[in-house]
Amino acid sequence: MKREMMMMGETWAGLGSIVAGIMFMSAMFQQYFPRHLRDLIQGYLFQLMNMVNPFMQISFHENSGGRFSRNEAYTSIEAYLSKHSSTQAKRLKADMTTNAANLVLNLDNHEEVTDIFQGVKFRWKSQVSTTNRSHPLYGDNYAEEKRSFKLSFHKRYRDLVIGSYLHHVLEEGKAVVVRNRQRRLYTNNSGREWRGGSWTHVAFQHRATFRNLAMDPQKKQEIEDDLLTFSNSKDYYAKIGKAWKRGYLLYGPPGTGKTTMIAAMANFLNYDIYDLELTAVKNNTELRKLLIETSGKSIIVLEDIDCSLDLAGKRKKEKEKDRKDDSNPDTKNLQKAKEVNNEKTSSSDVTLSGLLNFIDGLWSSCGEERIIVFTTNHVEKLDPALIRSGRMDKHIELSYCCFEGFKILAQNYLSLDSDPLFERIRRLLEETQMTPADVAENLMPKTIKGDAKTSLENLIRALEMNKEKQRSPKDADKEVKDEPTPAKNLKMMNNDKSLFLWYRRPSSKKRDKVANKSLPESEK
Ligand SMILES: Nc1ncnc2c1ncn2[C@@H]1O[C@H](COP(=O)(O)OP(=O)(O)OP(=O)(O)O)[C@@H](O)[C@H]1O
């Protein structure tokens, strides 16, 4: 026993001196050999090792595209390996980056996992090396860590790796990144002048889904199928040579769920939303810049497109203008006055052609997997060029609440599938028009203890009142008569030309101010 221990001691001592010898030689080699000679010898050594070593290796560095840009392949591999990490690795890194919605477990440094693809085993190792360099903030001896993943496999699988395994890893990894990320709601209208022309964002947390959207189930299914087909058609779009994007036009009265549907679409596809406020865009160049800055897997939304800018039917107006009788001085003056007024009040120089280019011009093809949605309450006001196929590929009408829609809302708000009162509500919904927003509002319990029956009775009362109102043409007529319309405003303008500034939609403070100036003192 004693002899064995002595032998072991001698072996360790021998090993120690060998290691010390190698380290000494290596230090001498590094210090006294010129660099080009060192590189030459190292090259030969690697070649020698490659000849006897049947394994190949591929490295994926974290920052291969510059110190500050993260290699996308590295990010995808990290995400891909995270599913193996939690079951195989002993040391894990828990990350919750600003972009992640949940805690993500990744391989810690120098950990190794295996992956099996088409029956072949692949080995992945996470590596880190440290180099000293000078840093403007941390001084001369700043230790910079460089991370990478190393993939090892037998030489005979070279074609499999390059042909399909890497593609599989990167695609799956990207999908994991998308699943894990915190989705965003972007806006170009942060209210700060200096941010004009760029996006700011908050976390997107709208809970709407197609399941709780009140509309005809068949129509809903059709939209879901259309969205799924789009999101799975990358190769198809490439084959037909079209940019991978799709336009949706959502139209219908206020409160029928246009905005809710956009949120449901984003949640269904796991996309970000870019809420584009056209009135905050200075000109076409800025519009193009905003477009280029949007990322893939996103929905670009232009709400109330008919009110955003004076785009609706602009061409028509221009034609009409040409046809106007120039000999009539009154008409001429009025026209001029309106033009001056338009110039004064419009804060954006975005034109219809700029918007058309935004949707399907050459620039719109940089970037992929994007959906553009327009919403409007007045589809008839839009220029046909804006909504033709190819720009707005799918037109969806959102309308008043149908019985099927009501059932969805009842399930949603009251957890109710059926009730004897349903039949009465069904008949009332056939006889009168109420938006899903109003139905939802009536179904909401008004007190904490409010029960489902009371809510249904509230809705019935509201529907009956609605029916009564819609049946009484006198009231309806009176309302219409009292409402200001462009035609009435125009008449007023002819009577008193100092009022012409009221012709445009009175929306901005500036406009009101200008208009106020031209009013007689008694009417201010
Ligand atoms: N079809 C619907 N299904 C479920 N909820 C709806 C539906 N339509 C409206 N609502 C409810 O009404 C509210 C207002 O709806 P939403 O803003 O989507 O309507 P909209 O058509 O976009 O209105 P607007 O044209 O005024 O912008 C939503 O918060 C939602 O709760």
Tens digit of each residue's pLDDT (9 = 90 or more) over 139-171: 677 777 788 999 999 989 999 999 999 999 999
How many structural domains compose the chain? Answer: 4
**Using an 8 Å Cβ cutoff, are 386 and 240 in contact?**
no
Identify whether 217 is part of a domain.
yes
Beta bridge partner(s), residue 132 = 143
CA 263 to ligand 1: nearest atom: 18
Identify whether 10 is part of a domain.
no
Identify whether 7 is part of a domain.
no
Q: Do 428 and 496 belong to one domain?
A: no
Distances (CA, A) of 465 to 17, 346, 424, 432, 469: 99, 41, 14, 10, 6
CA 261 to ligand 1: nearest atom: 18
Q: Do 77 and 158 belong to one domain?
A: yes
**Residue 498 belongs to domain spanning:** 484-523
Q: Do 205 and 226 belong to one domain?
A: yes
> What is the full DSSP assignment across 372-406?
EEEEES-GGGS-HHHHSTTTS-EEEE--S--HHHH
Pocket flag, ligand 1, residue 254 (CB < 6 Å): yes
Q: Do 136 and 240 belong to one domain?
A: no
Distances (CA, A) of 194 to 191, 198, 252, 322, 350: 9, 9, 35, 39, 19
Identify whether 32 is part of a domain.
no
Residue nearest to atom 10 of ligand 1 (CA): 437
Least confident window among 18-22, 352-356, 515-519:
515-519
pLDDT of residue 400: 95
Domain boundary residue, one of 460, 478, 496: 478
Pocket flag, ligand 1, residue 247 (CB < 6 Å): no
For residue 239, give both structure tokens: 């084959």
Q: Do 142 and 247 belong to one domain?
A: no
**Using an 8 Å Cβ cutoff, are 215 and 257 in contact?**
yes
Residue nearest to atom 30 of ligand 1 (CA): 437
Pocket flag, ligand 1, residue 256 (CB < 6 Å): yes
Pocket flag, ligand 1, residue 245 (CB < 6 Å): no
Spatial neighbors of 275 by CB under 8 A, at least 6 apart, are 185, 186, 187, 188, 189, 301, 303
pLDDT in tens, 412-466: 999 999 999 999 999 999 999 999 999 999 999 887 777 889 999 999 999 999 9
Q: What is the mean pLDDT of residues 63-83?
A: 77
Identify whether 200 is part of a domain.
yes
Q: Is 421 helix (H, G, I), strand (E, B) or coil?
A: coil
Q: What is the ipTM of this complex?
A: 0.97
Q: Which residue has the higher pLDDT, 112 or 448?
A: 112
Q: What is the mean pLDDT of residues 263-285?
A: 92
Spatial neighbors of 472 by CB under 8 A, at least 6 apart, are none
CA distance 430 to 419: 18
Distance 259 CA to ligand 1 centre (A): 6
Q: Which long-range contacts (CB under 8 A, 24 or more apart) does 236-244 make?
A: 237/368, 243/360, 243/364, 243/365, 243/368, 244/368, 244/369, 244/370
Q: What is the mean pLDDT of residues 230-248?
A: 91
Identify whether 44 is part of a domain.
no
Q: Do 155 and 244 belong to one domain?
A: no
- With residues binned 3-state (H G I as helix, E B as strand, rest as coil), the percentages for the chain, rounded to 5, are 55, 15, 30
pLDDT at 340 over 60: no
Identify whether 293 is part of a domain.
yes
Distance 496 CA to ligand 1 centre (A): 40
Identify whether 222 is part of a domain.
yes
Q: Tell me 521's DSSP state.
A: G
Q: Do 289 and 220 belong to one domain?
A: yes
Least confident window among 216-225, 337-346, 357-366, 426-435:
337-346
Q: Do 373 and 248 belong to one domain?
A: yes
Q: Do 71 and 156 belong to one domain?
A: yes
Measured in degrees and rounded to the nearest 5, phi and psi for residue 467 equal -65, -45
pLDDT at 503 over 60: no
Q: Do 189 and 204 belong to one domain?
A: yes
Q: What is the mean pLDDT of residues 194-206?
A: 79
Q: Do 392 and 417 belong to one domain?
A: no
Domain boundary residue, one of 149, 180, 211: 180
Domain boundary residue, one of 151, 180, 209: 180
Q: Do 370 and 221 belong to one domain?
A: yes
Burial of 230 (0-12, 13-18, 19+ CB in 10 A): buried
